[in-house]
Amino acid sequence: MNKKEKNFEKLPYRNGVGIVLLNNKNKIFVAKRIDNPKNFWQMPQGGVDKDENYYDAALRELKEETSIVSVELIQEIDKKLTYILPDELIGIIWKGRFKGQIQKWFIMRFIGNESEININTKKPEFLDWKWIDLEDLTKIAVNFKLNVYKNLKQEIAKVLN
């Protein structure tokens, strides 16, 4: 392990939330990031502000990234899920303050009209969005989030069965 890697180990995890958004056909909302030109998609997620509870953070992030507000909570996932950024992104993403995220995830149902979905927000993060089947969830994820998405796939399957 080199000196740079040791320094990264000392970095904390960023406190975050994620949203599994299901439509009325139990398909999952994913969006393609602006800052990754490859064909990777992700579910809405983001940081938790100081003194903000996880559920409020999830609703805020969902609105900030997708304009979506018409949702119902299905389930809060008990365990928190973590990922570590790849070496080339540590020190760059989040101004180098974190090595990855520890996330609280919520499964929600979208109850609005699709015209509500707008990724062209004040600070756009996404180029495109789509609904996918549960079995495709781990096929679209970037490598460093794959374990998170595998865990989520199991949690979503429990809810859908």
Q: What is the pLDDT along the chain (161 residues), one digit of tens a residue?
A: 444 454 677 899 999 999 999 999 999 999 999 987 688 899 999 999 999 999 999 999 999 999 999 999 999 999 999 999 888 887 777 878 889 999 999 999 999 999 999 999 999 999 999 999 999 999 999 999 999 999 999 999 999 98
Give residue 3's pLDDT. 44
Give residue 102's pLDDT. 96
**Kind and range of the H or E run holding 161:** none
| φ, ψ of residue 94 in degrees (nearest 5) | 55, 35
Cβ 44 vs Cβ 31: under 8 Å: yes
Give residue 94's pLDDT. 82
Give residue 35's pLDDT. 82
* Cα distances (Å, whole numbers) of residue 51 to 5, 29, 47, 54: 31, 28, 12, 10
Residue 117: strand pairing partners: none
Give residue 7's pLDDT. 65
Q: Which region holds residue 127: left if phi is over 0, alpha if psi is between -120 and 50, else beta? A: alpha
CATH number of 3-160: 3.90.79.10
Three-class SS state of 16: strand
Q: Which of 104, 33, 106 is nearest to 66 (CA)?
A: 33
Over its C-alpha atoms, the chain yields an Rg (Å, rounded) of 16
**Ranges of each domain in the chain:** 3-160
Give residue 39's pLDDT. 82
Tokens of 6: 């040791």
Per DSSP, the chain holds a count of helices (H) and strands (E) of 3, 8
